[in-house]
């Protein structure tokens, strides 16, 4: 696995996480291209060892976390909050959760009311960083040794070389995956498709039998926006997918247009449930787990829900051409801007950094205990217990290339919002691939991510 991690991050730089509990040191200068208001570690109110030991007055900090994600709620309630008093008895933390952190963090940043620590996301982090409100943590975690707990340290760095968020690194092991109902596949003599044409044949046989082939989340364009479009591109030509991520091509590229047309084919043939453009995440899961669809195309974090409900198998989205073998090139989740961030203007900056580190360490402990692979090294050994995850990780470890998501690693927040709108339209059946390219490519051209 250590070799595999090295190969993974030679190709992409994604969010990972690390944390520890050492004293704050005096770091070297950092290069922060846009974040000019950031403070180096030597300028902060470093918390003395005796204060960390509980002999001084309380330090008050405020934390904002995700309130709409079951995994993050588990991390917060059963790890971070549960263990904070024992770890830092002098901290008095005000806990805040939000279901729409994007708008909340943007508002707090604009009004100067950001918490000391919050969970950052690439969808909105760039604006906060450019405003000088999100601390570059590179000085701190290099000086106090936190960096040493990462399997790949470069995975933390944003495009300007700074480190603005700390996470466990579990994201980089999440991939899109197709779950299928083994009972239905056996009943109709279906096999796991290895090409896109074979996938269409499977879908048609199911349609002919009166079964809806596949559930996806069409609401907000979620499936197409988050992973399906780029997967279709890279499964035909990985070089085009990588070029998109580097702004070396655009959505008029023939491979991109062909990927959109393939998705349009599936919509037109009835591969997805009726009204798919309005299906949300929970509905896509229930349609599959209740046996109303034969397949589910989603992210691999759904494995536990799927296996609890039925006997499921998995396969990776089939390749479209002879340049790629199915499962050889995988798309992975995450961004170096996802994770625990620190307010650059916190009155207790050194303590805020320590708290962000602690939050990340607790997040990693939770994932490690559940058998997740992590970039952050916890020392906790957990076995993978889910059969679909065992099979998926075998495929993962044998892949030759890993490509990150486009919406998290190549689009500013305004572009993501428009991408969401137009990918949602692709689910309606009345919006063509050509229309998508005509409408969205000018928006892509005005994308400020690469500036």
Specify if 86 maps to a domain: yes
Phi, psi of 411 (to 5 degrees): -135, 135
pLDDT value at 53 more than 70: no
Q: Are residues 105 and 226 in the same domain?
A: no
Residues 328 and 347: their CA atoms lie apart, in Å, by: 49
Please identify, among 324, 358, 379, the residue that sits at the C-terminal boundary of a domain: 379
Q: DSSP alpha helices (H): ranges in 161-253?
A: 182-187, 196-208, 222-223, 229-234, 238-245
Specify if 257 maps to a domain: yes
Residues 180 and 13: their CA atoms lie apart, in Å, by: 31
Q: Token pair for residue 374? A: 């992590």
Query: Which is more confident, 115 or 30?
Result: 115
202: three-class secondary structure by DSSP: helix
pLDDT value at 56 more than 90: no
Specify if 416 maps to a domain: yes
- Residue pair 175/299 in contact by the 8 Å Cβ criterion: yes
Q: Are residues 103 and 163 in the same domain?
A: yes
Specify if 241 maps to a domain: yes
Residues 359 and 374: their CA atoms lie apart, in Å, by: 15
Mean local confidence (pLDDT), 249-277: 98
pLDDT at 45: 58
Q: Are residues 305 and 288 in the same domain?
A: yes
Q: Are residues 257 and 406 in the same domain?
A: yes
Q: Are residues 221 and 157 in the same domain?
A: no
Contacts of 147 (CB under 8 A, 6+ apart): 18, 141, 153, 156
pLDDT value at 13 more than 70: no
Neighbouring-strand partners of residue 324 = none
Residues 127 and 412: their CA atoms lie apart, in Å, by: 9
Q: Are residues 395 and 371 in the same domain?
A: no
CATH of residue 215: 3.40.190.10
298 pLDDT tier (thresholds 50, 70, 90) = very high
Give the model confidence (pLDDT) of 174-216 as tens digits.
999 999 999 999 999 999 999 999 999 999 999 999 999 999 9
Specify if 328 maps to a domain: yes
Global pTM exceeds 0.85: no
Q: Are residues 414 and 298 in the same domain?
A: yes
Specify if 4 maps to a domain: no
Contacts of 163 (CB under 8 A, 6+ apart): 136, 137, 138, 141, 156, 157, 336
331: three-class secondary structure by DSSP: strand
Going by the DSSP 8-state scheme, the letter that residue 343 receives in this structure is B
Sheet strand arrangement including 117-120: 91-98, 59-66, 117-120, 339-342
Residues 251 and 195: their CA atoms lie apart, in Å, by: 23
Residues 403 and 314: their CA atoms lie apart, in Å, by: 20
Mean local confidence (pLDDT), 244-258: 97
Give the model confidence (pLDDT) of 117-142 as tens digits.
999 998 889 889 999 999 999 999 99
pLDDT at 83: 93
Tell me the average pLDDT of the chain. 87
Q: Are residues 249 and 160 in the same domain?
A: no
43 pLDDT tier (thresholds 50, 70, 90) = low
Q: Are residues 193 and 147 in the same domain?
A: no
Specify if 2 maps to a domain: no
pLDDT at 183: 97
pLDDT at 342: 97
pLDDT at 18: 34
pLDDT value at 446 more than 90: yes
Task: Return the closest-CA partner of residue 288 out of 184, 414, 429.
Answer: 184
Give the model confidence (pLDDT) of 96-112 as tens digits.
998 889 889 999 999 99
Q: Token pair for residue 116? A: 């000391």
Q: Are residues 241 and 156 in the same domain?
A: no
What is the domain extent for residue 259?
175-332+388-445
Q: Are residues 327 and 345 in the same domain?
A: no
In the chain, % of residues over pLDDT 90? 66
Relative to beta strand 91-98, strand 59-66 is parallel
Relative to beta strand 339-342, strand 117-120 is antiparallel
Task: Return the closest-CA partner of residue 315 out of 398, 147, 199.
Answer: 199
Give the chain's domain count. 2
Residues 318 and 253: their CA atoms lie apart, in Å, by: 21
Task: Return the closest-CA partner of residue 208 out of 287, 288, 270, 263.
Answer: 270
pLDDT value at 116 more than 70: yes
Q: Are residues 36 and 111 in the same domain?
A: yes
Specify if 1 maps to a domain: no
């Amino acid at each position: 696995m250590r070799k595999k991690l090295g190969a993974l991050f030679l190709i992409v730089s994604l969010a990972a996480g690390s944390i520890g509990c050492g004293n704050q040191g005096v770091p070297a200068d950092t290069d922060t291209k846009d974040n000019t208001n950031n403070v180096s570690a030597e300028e902060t109110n470093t918390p003395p060892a005796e204060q960390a030991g509980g002999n001084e007055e309380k330090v008050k900090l405020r934390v904002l976390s995700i309130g709409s994600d079951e995994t993050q709620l588990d991390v917060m309630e059963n790890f971070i909050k549960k263990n904070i008093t024992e770890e830092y008895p002098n901290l008095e933390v005000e806990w805040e959760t939000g279901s729409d952190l994007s708008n909340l963090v943007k508002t707090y940043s604009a009004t100067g009311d950001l918490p000391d620590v919050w969970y950052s996301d690439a969808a909105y982090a760039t604006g906060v960083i450019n405003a000088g409100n999100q601390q570059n943590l590179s000085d701190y975690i290099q000086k106090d040794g936190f960096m040493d707990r990462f399997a790949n340290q470069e995975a933390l760095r944003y495009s300007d070389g700074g480190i603005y968020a700390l996470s466990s690194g579990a994201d980089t092991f999440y991939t899109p995956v197709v779950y299928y109902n083994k009972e239905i596949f056996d009943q109709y003599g279906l096999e796991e498709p290895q090409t896109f044409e074979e996938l269409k044949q499977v879908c048609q046989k199911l349609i002919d039998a009166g079964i809806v082939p596949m559930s996806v989340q069409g609401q907000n364009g979620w499936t197409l926006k988050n992973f399906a479009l780029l997967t279709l591109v890279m499964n035909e030509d990985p070089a085009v997918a990588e070029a998109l991520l580097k702004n070396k091509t655009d959505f008029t590229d023939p491979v991109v247009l062909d990927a959109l047309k393939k998705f349009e084919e599936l919509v037109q043939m009835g591969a997805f449930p009726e009204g798919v453009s309005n299906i949300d995440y929970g509905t896509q899961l229930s349609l599959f787990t209740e046996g109303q669809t034969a397949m589910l195309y989603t992210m691999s974090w759904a494995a536990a829900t799927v296996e609890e409900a039925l006997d499921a198998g998995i396969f990776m989205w089939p390749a479209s051409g002879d340049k790629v073998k199915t499962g050889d090139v995988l798309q992975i989740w995450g961004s170096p801007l996802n994770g625990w961030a620190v307010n650059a203007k916190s009155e207790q900056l050194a303590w805020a950094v320590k708290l962000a580190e602690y939050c990340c360490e607790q997040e990693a402990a939770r994932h490690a205990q559940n058998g997740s692979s992590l970039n952050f090294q916890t020392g906790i050994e957990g076995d993978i217990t889910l059969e679909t995850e065992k099979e998926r990780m075998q495929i993962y470890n044998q892949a030759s290339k890993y490509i990150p998501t486009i919406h998290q690693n190549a689009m500013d927040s305004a572009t993501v919002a428009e991408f969401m709108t137009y990918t949602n339209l692709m689910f309606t059946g009345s919006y063509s691939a050509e229309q998508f390219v005509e409408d969205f490519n000018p928006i892509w051209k005005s994308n400020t991510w690469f500036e």
